[in-house]
């Protein structure tokens, strides 16, 4: 019980002190390192930031983001205006192919199209994540090619090596365009480095993080 309370309070402190986040209406629950965020935030960028901040707390193994974006009246935009803004941002990004398009319904943006690399898919979401009026982003972009296991494994091993961890500390499994990571590291920074390394591999559509932080 004490450890559960400690992790919850540590996450709450991290959220309150984050300069990019208004956590006044965010509640935190923790069960054995599995943290759930509930409540509301005023924009989608803060929705993402809350989960990122929680994941960096020692002892957190997973974050379930159940936050709702409740836009202030001044940030509401009609669907046509937001659709134009989103597609303009996508077109302006050098990392997003012209095949990717956005559509909007009540502030919920849906991304569709085909890309060659998972990094391009991630770039599309990043390009519009801070747009005024976005409530949520539904990513339906398809990655055209399967992931190269050897390339992912090489990047993960390099990340482990930078922290002096053995190459066997994290196992890599490939399922189509999804990378599955499992194993143990000592700190959240080490986990972030490994997950980030997997995302840098060509064609990665998703990374499932089952890495345990031992502390």
pLDDT digits (tens, 9 = 90+) for 142-172: 877 778 899 999 999 999 999 999 999 999 9
> Residue 1 has what pLDDT?
47
C-alpha closest to that of 89 among 117, 45, 130, 33:
130
Non-local (6+) Cβ contacts of 152 within 8 A are: 172, 174, 179, 198, 201, 204
With beta carbons less than 8 A apart as the criterion, state whether 81 and 53 touch: no
> Tokens 């709702």, residue?
68
Residues facing 136 on adjacent strands: 108
Tokens of 85: 């803004």
pTM: predicted TM-score of the whole model, two decimal places? 0.67
Summarize the confidence of residues 2-26 as an average pLDDT. Answer: 90
> Residue 4 has what pLDDT?
63
Summarize the confidence of residues 131-152 as an average pLDDT. Answer: 90
Task: Show the domains of the chain with their CATH numbers.
Answer: 2-69 (3.30.1340), 75-143 (3.30.300.130), 149-213 (3.30.300.130)
């Amino acid at each position: 019980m004490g450890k559960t309370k400690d992790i919850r309070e540590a996450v709450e402190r991290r959220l309150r002190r984050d300069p990019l986040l208004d956590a006044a209406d965010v509640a935190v629950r923790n069960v054995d390192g599995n943290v759930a965020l509930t409540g509301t935030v005023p924009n989608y960028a803060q929705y993402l930031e809350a989960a990122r901040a929680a994941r960096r707390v020692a002892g957190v193994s997973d974050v379930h983001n159940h936050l709702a974006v409740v836009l202030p009246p001044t940030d509401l935009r009609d669907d046509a205006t937001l659709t134009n803004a989103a597609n303009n941002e996508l077109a302006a990004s050098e990392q997003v192919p012209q095949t990717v398009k956005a559509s909007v319904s009540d502030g919920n943006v849906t991304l569709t199209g085909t890309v060659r690399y998972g990094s391009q898919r991630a770039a599309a979401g990043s390009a519009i994540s801070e747009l005024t009026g976005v409530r949520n982003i539904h990513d339906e972009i398809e990655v055209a090619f399967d992931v190269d296991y050897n390339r992912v494994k090489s990047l993960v091993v390099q990340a482990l090596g930078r922290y002096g961890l053995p190459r066997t500390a994290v196992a890599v499994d490939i399922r189509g365009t999804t990378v599955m990571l499992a194993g143990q590291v000592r700190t959240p920074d080490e986990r972030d480095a490994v997950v980030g390394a997997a995302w840098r591999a060509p064609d990665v559509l998703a990374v499932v993080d089952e890495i345990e932080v031992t502390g």
